[in-house]
Structures are given as C-alpha cells and as structure tokens.
C-alpha cells in the first residue's frame, strides 16, 4: 500500500507537465470555437490520440497508479484547459471503466479497443445509465433486458438520457433491469455493438455549459444483442441475482446499494475536474487583478479584490486535498467511513461554482463577456453540482453514512 503523500513523484510530475502542455497548446486555443459550435471536437480528440492521451493504455496507467493520484492529476490538467473539450476526451473512459469493472477478459479485449479506435480513425463510447425518471434514483430504472433463451440473445427496450456520446458512439454500454423485484440489485450491463438495429439517438441537448461534449438521449427499441454481450456472463449474473434474492428474503433491503457504493469510489475524479476549472478561473482572475489598474494602481491592491483571491486559492487547495485523500483511499481499499468520496465531490464542485463566479466579479464587465474565458468557465462549472449525483445527493450520502443508515 502506498503511503499518502501530497507530493507528486518525478514520473507523475513529468506526466502532469506533459498534460498541462497539451491543455495549454491544443485544448485552450480551441475552447471558444467548439463551445460556440456545440459539436464534438473530433480534431482535438484525434490530436489527443496521436500523442497518446486518448488511449486505453494511458488511462489504465493512471487508473492503477498505486498512489491514487494519477486520475485526479490527469483530470485537473485537462479540465484546466477546457471542461467541454476535456469531457469529450475522457467521456469514453466512463464506458471503458464499466467494461473493465464488470467484463470478462475476452469482453475487455474485444470491446475496449473498439471504443477508442486509433489515431487515424478515432472512435468514442457511451455509458448509458440515467433515464428521464431515474437519475440519482437508480432503483427507478425502467429500461428492461429480457433473455431470449432460444436464440441466446438479450432484448433491450427503454430510453436513456444525459448520455455522453450517446448515439454517436461506436460502442454503447447500457445498464438495464433484468429482475424488477430486486430494485437496483436487479440491474445488469450490456454491450451494444456498433450498427446494432433498434438503437437510435434521441434528443441532443443544447446545454448551458460543457457544450463541446455531446449529450443526448439513446432510444432502445427491441435492441437484440448476443448473450456474449452481457458483461460478466450469464452464469455470474444468475449467481449474483440468487444472492440478492436470498438477502432480500432475509431483510437484505438494508444492505448498502452497490451502485451507490461504486459512484462513491468514482466521485473524486469529478471533484478533480471541478478543481481544474476552478484553478483556471482563479489564474485568469489573479493575472487580471495584477495588471488591471483603477485609480492609479492595480486592483489587487484593493483589499476587497485581494481577499477574494485569497479565499479562492484557499478553497481550491482544500478541494484538491479532499480529492487526493479520497483517491488515495479508493486505490488502497480504505473504507469510506464518512463518505469521503462524496465529500470531495461536494466540496470541489461547490468550490468551482463559487470561484468562477468570483472570477467574473473581479473582471467586472469584461468577465461577463465571451472575450474572456471566465464566462465560459462559470457556465461549465454548473455541471459539477449536478452530474454523478447532485450536491443534495452528496449531502444525503454523507449524512446517511455518518448516521449508519443504508444508502439507497
């Protein structure tokens, strides 16, 4: 087990500087254009693939970093560049992690390469879980998967929403209900291969922020996938469902929700995204305050501005420390006895919203225009308190963990 440290090692610093250079030289110059176009920035993703950032190998290296700091470091630097473009680059990772966590070795080897493609023909993947009536409340999911034993196929019907890369993905990973009586424990994940009949993109959302990231509904109408597309295989699913039924019979409804526990472990990565956006806005505001003069002196000489910057930097550093702690705990198997994963996501996301708003205030009228990036950063920051569990859900998870109540 790696000791907790607040200092990156030499190899991590080298990777961080490499990512920062890509974010500064490639992502930032393209940010305003793709925000206005509200389209997937395929040329930027291709550049990321060419240098090795958009690849399974790179994310696997960071994911298995024994210190736990590889992923948060990566997220912070890319989202420092631009949240919308960064989400387009890392969005495929949501689906890839779903396969890595639940799939067999054969499924991992077959499908994950098809999610990324290669530098000459980049692909993306989509993880489809949320539904119009089931966001944080995963137990209310309605998308159904029914097994056709005669053909060894699963038939999937339902509507997914808020799917990053939904409809444009080469590979979709879809979470569906296989046993409605078991609630969230009766769910399973399926690969929907490219070109499968019955899968279609629904509404593409025109969003307040992260506009360069494609977000849409995914419609599944009698989608048939081979039995081999059930992640983990049917034998494993049947065994898991049998255990869940036995627990339910014995009062297993008080067992912690497995999906919520999984989200708890992944939330620090979202916190790191928020830290990157907050840091970017703070740096713009700091430079502006040092160079902008009013009444014959830089505005940072005014206590009202200087104190805001002090609070902004303090909150950003505190958020990063919470994210790093939770990330280290997750990789080293430390139990989140106080919902430390949710703590990191809650504090970092709220910090991003506040810091980006303060940056606009420091820039004054300029901050409210699209000539300066803090306006876009403020719009982007709003998503952090919403996706992967709203701030209200984070507080609920933390409170229930502290009280010993089950997380549903």
Catalytic residues: 388
- DSSP single-letter state for residue 279: H
**2, 328 Cβ separation under 8 angstroms:** yes
Scanning the structure block, which residue is given the tokens 């040092």?
A: 290
* Torsion over CA: 252, 254, 257, 261 (sign): negative
- DSSP single-letter state for residue 136: S
Q: Residue 65 is encoded by which pair of tokens?
A: 């970093």
Phi/psi for 53 (5° steps) reads -80, -40
Gap between the Cα atoms of 133 and 237, Å rounded: 25
Largest CA distance in the chain: 82
Long-range contacts of 388-395 (CB under 8 A, 24+ apart): 388/263, 388/266, 388/267, 388/270, 388/345, 389/136, 389/263, 389/267, 389/342, 389/345, 390/136, 391/346, 391/349, 391/350, 393/136, 394/267, 394/339, 394/342, 394/343, 394/345, 394/346, 395/346
Residue closest to 157 by CA, chosen among 135, 138, 178, 184: 178
Q: Residue 125 is encoded by which pair of tokens?
A: 């993947």
Dihedral Cα 211, 213, 216, 218, nearest 10 deg: 180
Strands (E), 193-267: 199-204, 215-226
* Helix, strand, coil share (%) of the chain residues, nearest 5: 60, 15, 25
**165, 192 Cβ separation under 8 angstroms:** no
- List the Cα angle 223/229/231 in 5-degree steps: 125
């Amino acid at each position: 087990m790696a000791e907790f440290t607040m200092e990156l090692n030499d190899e991590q610093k080298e990777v961080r500087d490499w990512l920062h250079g890509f974010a500064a030289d490639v992502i930032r110059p393209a940010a305003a254009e793709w925000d206005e176009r509200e389209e997937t920035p395929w040329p930027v993703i291709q550049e990321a693939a060419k240098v090795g950032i958009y690849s399974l190998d790179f994310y696997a290296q960071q994911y298995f970093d024994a210190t736990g700091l590889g992923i948060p470091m990566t997220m912070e630097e890319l989202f420092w560049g631009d949240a919308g473009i960064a989400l387009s680059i890392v969005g495929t990772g949501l689906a890839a992690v779903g396969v890595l966590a639940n799939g067999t070795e054969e499924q991992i080897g077959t499908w994950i390469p098809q999610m990324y493609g290669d530098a000459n023909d980049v692909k993306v993947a989509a993880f489809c879980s949320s539904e119009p009536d089931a966001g944080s409340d995963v137990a209310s999911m309605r998308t159904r998967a029914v097994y056709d034993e005669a053909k060894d196929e699963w038939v999937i019907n339902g509507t997914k929403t808020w799917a990053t890369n939904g409809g444009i993905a080469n590979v979709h990973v879809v979470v569906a209900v296989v046993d409605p009586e078991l609630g969230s424990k009766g769910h399973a994940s399926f690969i929907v291969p490219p070109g499968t009949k019955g899968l279609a993109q629904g509404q593409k959302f025109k969003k307040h922020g992260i506009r360069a990231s494609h977000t849409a509904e995914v419609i599944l109408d009698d989608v048939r996938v081979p039995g081999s597309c059930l992640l983990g295989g049917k034998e494993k699913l049947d065994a898991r469902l049998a255990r869940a039924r036995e627990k339910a019979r014995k009062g297993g409804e008080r067992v912690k929700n497995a999906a919520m526990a999984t989200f708890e472990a992944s939330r620090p990565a979202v916190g790191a995204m928020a830290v990157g956006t907050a840091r970017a806005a703070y740096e713009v505001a700091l430079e502006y305050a040092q160079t902008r003069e009013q009444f014959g002196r830089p505005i940072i000489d005014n206590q009202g501005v200087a104190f805001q910057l002090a609070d902004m930097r303090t909150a950003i550093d505190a958020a990063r420390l919470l994210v790093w702690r939770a990330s280290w705990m997750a990789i080293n198997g430390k139990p989140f006895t106080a919902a430390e994963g949710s703590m990191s996501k809650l504090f970092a996301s709220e910090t991003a919203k506040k810091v980006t708003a303060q940056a606009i205030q420091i820039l004054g009228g300029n901050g409210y225009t699209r000539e300066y990036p803090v306006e876009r950063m403020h719009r982007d920051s709003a998503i952090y308190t919403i996706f992967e569990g709203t701030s209200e859900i984070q507080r609920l998870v933390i409170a229930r963990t502290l009280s010993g109540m089950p997380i549903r």
